Structure formats: structure tokens, C-alpha cells
Structure 1
Amino acid sequence: MAVAEGGARRRRRQPEDARREILDAATELLATVPAHEVTVAAIMGRTTLSRKSFYVYFRDRAELVAALVHPLRVEADAGLAQWAAAVEPVAAGRTALRAAAETYRRHGAILRVVFWAATGDPDIRRVRDDLTAAVVDVAVAKVEQASAGLADPRATAIALVTMNIHRLLALDAEATDTELDELVGTLSTIWERTLRL
């Protein structure tokens, strides 16, 4: 066995175990420090792996963030698919928004990194854009379906989705179900009044 930085013993492990250790360390770090402090060195300092091991499993921080976001994306896509297929947009929209609120409450630390770090990091910006593109596309279809006489359905959809995202990013893990329900009610009302549903 080799000795890692800080005196901890390194051991060989299965690639999926090593990758999981890096992802877990990054998740823990994201929950405790500002995004700019989540460096490769800081992440690897929380593992029993060498710093260079990071690059065996991830090309860069953006690829790591994309891997952290992937399970959230699966959750979000399920709710989004139901909203996209719904004939009755109001109830389905509220259900999709409630599911999104649950995701943001559980995974806010990771999502805040994606949205806030995207400003100065083009790789993370691509992760963010990938995360939001499908939501915007479904929202455009719903705005067009509402035929609210809006001059630019895409601009309206982007404004409404952006409002949702920024308000949901403010949720923390301690938010109660009642707080989630109130937030979903407020956002849904804004959507419904804008689209005259």
C-alpha cells in the first residue's frame, strides 16, 4: 500500500469504487464550501486516492459536475415527460413543478454549483444549458399550445423557466412540504396568469 497526502493509506480498488469515492467527496465538499473552493485538490484531499487519480476518471471539473447532475437529470426528465405528454397542462404543470421542487430541495448544493459557477466556467455552462434545454423546449410547446397571443413564445417560456429555476435554487434541504407547496402554488399561478389558463 502507498501512503496518500496527509498520511492516509491508499489502496487499490475497483474503478467504479474509486469513481464513487471521488463523486462522494465532491458532493460532501459542495455541501460545505463555496463552489470556487471545490477544486480538484480539495476533492482529492477528501479521498484516499492520489490527486492524479482524478484524471483517470474525469477529464475535468465540468465532467465531474455532469456526473453528479446525471441522476438528477433522470428524475427531472421523468417529470418533464409527464408534463410534455399531458393534455391538461395546468394539473400536469403543477405536478411537474412539485417534482422539480423536491429535486431542488434534495440536491440544491449541486444544482447551485451548476447554475452559479456557469457564469465564469464555459464547461459548467454547457452542463447547465444541457440541464435546462429540455425544460425550455417543453415550456415553449406549452406556451404555444396555450395560444395566449404572446408575440414570442420562446422568450416567454425562457422567462418563466428562468423564474422557476432561480426561485427553486433558493430552497434548502430544510424546506418543509408546506413551503414547497406554497412556492409551487405561487409559481404555478404566475404561469397560469401569464398564459391565461
Structure 2
Amino acid sequence: MFIIQGVNYTHPNRDLLFADLQFTVNTHEKIALVGNNGAGKSTLLKLMAGILHPSQGSVKTDSSPYYMPQLYGQLNDHTVAEALQVAGKIAALRSILDGQATEENFSLLDDDWTIEEKCKQAFSHWNLNGFDPDQKMATLSGGQKTKVLLAGITIHQPEIVLLDEPSNHLDAAGRELLYEFIRNTSATLVVVSHDRT
């Protein structure tokens, strides 16, 4: 659930983008924010994700959201596992299996013994068969990067999902998988798009 109360947002150049936004997104609700490019949809999603902070007012949620950005350039230097925030768990699992059964490795793994299998299954679901979690994001096409981040939803099973222009770069098969996810998910879902279809 999200509760947006009296939110104002002013750009660093002091231009006011939002004034006194008030709305609620209920648990398991699915909403779309549709509008022209530059209208502030992505900024609102970043406020909901906690990446940006309102100039005034509050954004309250009962769970940490999974946020998928519109642009992925900031992830190019990361591996797939790092982009999905599972690199620490995978490294800890591999270390434990190699005999380094330290308290730190067990703490990092956090009993997620099937993390590599979950990644494989998620990659397969999003038509990324044979993907290596150690592969650099910079080596992937735009569509593959989108699918990697969508696979993160399958891996993490978040209660709240925020998607910014998720159909960008996807081929027809990828879009169908995305639409199927949107139809079937029980997560609280907020999707930003300039495309009304």
C-alpha cells in the first residue's frame, strides 16, 4: 500500500513539478500512470521508490518496493547478479560450497540456498536461457536488460512493484510475457507509460 499525502516536488533548478499530491494505492491494486513524456511520471515513481524525496509531504508504504527504472545506463558497469542485487548471496553460496563456511557467508546467504536455481528459472521464464549472472550488463541489448530486471521480480517476489516504461525495448514475445505478468500478479503494481495500449 502507498499513501501519498500533500506531496510537493521541486526540481533542483527550483521549478515546481507537483503541488499537494494526494492519493492512495491499496494493497494488490494495479494502477497505470499514463501521460506525455516530460509530465513527471518517472519522477513520481522515483518518489514512490524512495530514490527521490518530496520537497514537502510524505510517501508512506508498508513494504519495500521493487523499482524498475526506464533507463539502465547506470547499470552498465554491473554484472547481471549485481543489477539484480543477488551477487552477495551467490558469492556467499559458492564460498560455502567451496568449504568457506564462515558466519559472514551464512549471514550473506540468509538461508537462500536455491538462489542460483531461482535465477536460472527466472531467466528461463523471461526467455534469457543460459544467462550467466556474472555477465556484464553493458554486453546486453536493451531488450535483454529489460528482461533481466523483469526477472528480478520473479527472483525477489516483492509485494510492491514499480515499473517505469517496462515495454521499452521488448519484442512481441517479451511484451506478451510482461502483459501476462501484469494480468496475473497479486503484487501491488504501479506502471508508468506514455503508451495507452
TM over 0.5: no
Q: Which has the higher contact order (CA 8 A, sep 6+)?
A: 2
The TM-score normalised by the length of structure 1 is 0.27
The normalised TM-score by structure 2 is 0.27
Larger helix fraction of residues:
1
